[in-house]
Amino acid sequence: MVGRWIVIGCLLLSAAPAKAWDNFGHMEAAVSTLELPKEFKALVVLAGGAVVLAAILTVCRADAGIGYVIPAFFISGFLADAFTGLAHFCFDYVFPESIPIFGPIAREFREHHEYPTLDPSNYIENLTKGAYASLPTTALTVWAAYELPVGAVSFVVVATLLGMSLWALLFHQIHSYAHMGSILPPEELHARVVEIRRLESHSEKVREFAKLFEAVPIPPVVRFLQRYRLILNPSTHNLHHVLFESDFSSVNGWSDPVLNFVLRPIARRRKAAMEMETRAKS
């Protein structure tokens, strides 16, 4: 019963338009533009608490063996990564900036190409973005933990949903560690990107980005996770910032080889069409 109310609460909060949230006195700027608030501490706390609750419920169902969390970890990592990649592609090339809620997010994604200033010290802003993505998935996890029959397969399903909720909560914080905006200013990154763009091979590009980020003081634990590709590696992610046609994912890059195959040709066509539109308007 409690779980159902949590599911309903999470869904309402994550689905409510910014205009409605203004009634709570938090987001004056959101009213006129139907833009989600950039920072929403209470939502971050709620999303974090919901993930903890979902984790407790998931562990309570581990009758089939806690070892099943291992496949769930990898499946959830791949699916969450693919989801961020597809969403990023849509915000770069599909959603018009004029539509409510998604439009301002699309504008932010396109501005991120010009000014890649993301910084991990902006915890609340980074985790607020994560909370929007995480809450619906956490609600689904809680529902699945209550409703699915007990068994190995359903445990993997629940644990996978839980993993996706956690990856979703952290995705923008992870993305910001691949930029370190306050230490690596956009002008410096752009200058290196221009040089790296001229390199012939993919491996040379990756190597040069790796060299650039070796000199940046990334916390050792994060550096370890990046190096072993457990979270997004700056060298991989910044390949996206060369031409904005590939490497769209923001969690760990596991889905990039598949998504690049599908999305790169579409991104090229969309980019050319959008450039023609801009030229025609000016």
Cβ nearer to Zn ion, comparing 81 with 92: 92
Is the Cβ of residue 72 or residue 170 nearer to Zn ion in the bound state?
Answer: 170
Residue 245 is a binding residue for Zn ion (CB under 5 A):
no
The number of residues that bind Zn ion (CB under 5 A) is: 1
- Our CB check for Zn ion shows the closer of 92 and 256 to be 92
Shortest distance, position 240 Cβ to Zn ion, whole Å: 6
Q: Are 133 and 168 in contact (CB under 8 A)?
A: yes
Q: For the CB of residue 31, give the shortest distance to Zn ion in the complex, in Å.
A: 28
Span interacting with Zn ion, options 15-23, 89-97, 186-194, 255-263, rule CB under 5 A: 89-97
Region of 62-70, 87-95, 207-215, 252-260 interacting with Zn ion (CB under 5 A): 87-95
Nearest distance from residue 93's CB to Zn ion, in Å?
9
- Is residue 92 within the footprint of Zn ion (CB under 5 A)? yes
Contact between 256 and Zn ion by CB under 5 A: the answer reads: no
In this complex, which beta carbon is closest to Zn ion, that of residue 85 or of residue 160? 85
User: By the criterion CB under 5 A, which residues form the site for Zn ion?
Assistant: 92
